[in-house]
Amino acid sequence: MEILLQLILSGVALGMIYAVVAFGYQSTFATSGTLNFGQGEALMLGAMFGLTLAGDVMGGPYLNYWLMIPAVLIFGALQGMVVEAVGVRPAIKTKSEFGWIMSTIALGIIFRNVAENIWGKDDMPFPSPISSTPLHIFGASVLPMELMVDVGALLMMILVELFNRKTIYGKAVVATASDRDAAGLMGINTRMVITFSYALSSMSAAFAGVLIAPITLTGASMGAVLGLKAFAVAIIGGLNSGMGIIVGGIMLGIAETTTGFYLSTGYKDVPGLVLLLLVLAIKPSGLFGKTAIKKV
């Protein structure tokens, strides 16, 4: 029983890491129907930038840990705007159906290369203000850092949700998400909303990077695997459901840890991907996704 609890707690922690990354996919998909396949790299850049400010690489630390977070948020937002302006806007403008796929992947590779040249290719430890002594819950151990990921991720999603529901700008985002053309006719600057959603998406990725870096180690290649797993989570949960992403993330995380223990550690990535295949076969819009009717 203790073991199952431990596996579940570790799985939840792992799943929430996937969920925060997956959250970024959702915010751009909702407004523009496009995804930033460089999401993993946005996360890596955020973590690297944070490490430069608050870690002891490159002659730092320059900033206190808590002051570093807003700086990383701004950095992330700017990075997202660059991706949108360079990679996505031209594709949307020319109605190029899949142009944004290649250009966001290309930008991701460019970012990774730049990062490798600035920070090197090695994995580095990330400072954390929180103690790394594990807490014990009914005999299972959790790291305070893992709890911080859970709390940080939920907080971030709640804030975005409140923003969408309560503010006029948020309503513009929701309107654009539900029908871009109609929103445009109603006087909403949909182009700006899309830029904003990219800024928000990369901002959340950068935040996620700082949040998870103490657990995952920081390095130029940290985003690659996470970006992919998070994409699977976004598909499982549904690309237009915040709730779905949390549930999807937790499902994948627990699937990985429990299969690792009960079946074999050699097969731990399999059930998550089988789940992905099942969802795609049975409910392609995701477990919590709304089916969009597309007229052809």
Any contact of residue 39 with other proteins (CB under 8 A)? no
Any contact of residue 134 with other proteins (CB under 8 A)? yes
Choose, by CB under 8 A, the member of 70, 90, 125, 284 that binds other proteins: 125
What is the 3-state composition of the chain as percent helix, strand, coil, each rounded to the nearest 5? 75, 5, 25
Rounded CA separation 84/195 (Å): 6
- 65 backbone dihedrals φ, ψ, rounded to 5°: -55, -45
In Å, how far from its chain's centre is CA 258?
Answer: 23
Any contact of residue 261 with other proteins (CB under 8 A)? yes
- 81 backbone dihedrals φ, ψ, rounded to 5°: -65, -35
Owner of token pair 């993993």 = 40
Nearer to other proteins, 90 or 139 (CB): 139
# binding residues, other proteins (CB under 8 A): 38
Q: Taken in order 163, 35, 49, 127, is the CA torsion positive or negative?
A: positive
Choose, by CB under 8 A, the member of 225, 273, 278, 280 that binds other proteins: 225
Any contact of residue 65 with other proteins (CB under 8 A)? no
Any contact of residue 14 with other proteins (CB under 8 A)? yes
Nearer to other proteins, 187 or 266 (CB): 266
Any contact of residue 114 with other proteins (CB under 8 A)? no
Any contact of residue 6 with other proteins (CB under 8 A)? yes
Any contact of residue 265 with other proteins (CB under 8 A)? yes
Any contact of residue 58 with other proteins (CB under 8 A)? no
Q: Taken in order 240, 16, 148, 73, is the CA torsion positive or negative?
A: negative
Any contact of residue 13 with other proteins (CB under 8 A)? yes
Choose, by CB under 8 A, the member of 64, 74, 90, 123 that binds other proteins: 123
Any contact of residue 284 with other proteins (CB under 8 A)? no
Q: Taken in order 228, 257, 15, 76, is the CA torsion positive or negative?
A: negative
135 pairs with which residues across the strands? 142
Any contact of residue 60 with other proteins (CB under 8 A)? no
DSSP 8-class letter at 274: H
Any contact of residue 194 with other proteins (CB under 8 A)? no
Choose, by CB under 8 A, the member of 85, 96, 121, 162 that binds other proteins: 121
Choose, by CB under 8 A, the member of 60, 61, 141, 170 that binds other proteins: 141
Which pairs count as long-range contacts for 276-284, CB under 8 Å and 24+ apart, including other chains?
276/232, 276/235, 276/236, 279/235, 279/236, 280/235
Query: Which structure tokens are listed for 287?
Result: 């477990």
Residues that bind other proteins (CB under 8 A): 3, 6-7, 10, 13-14, 17, 116, 121-125, 132, 134, 136, 141-143, 215-217, 219, 221-222, 224-225, 256-261, 264-266, 268-269
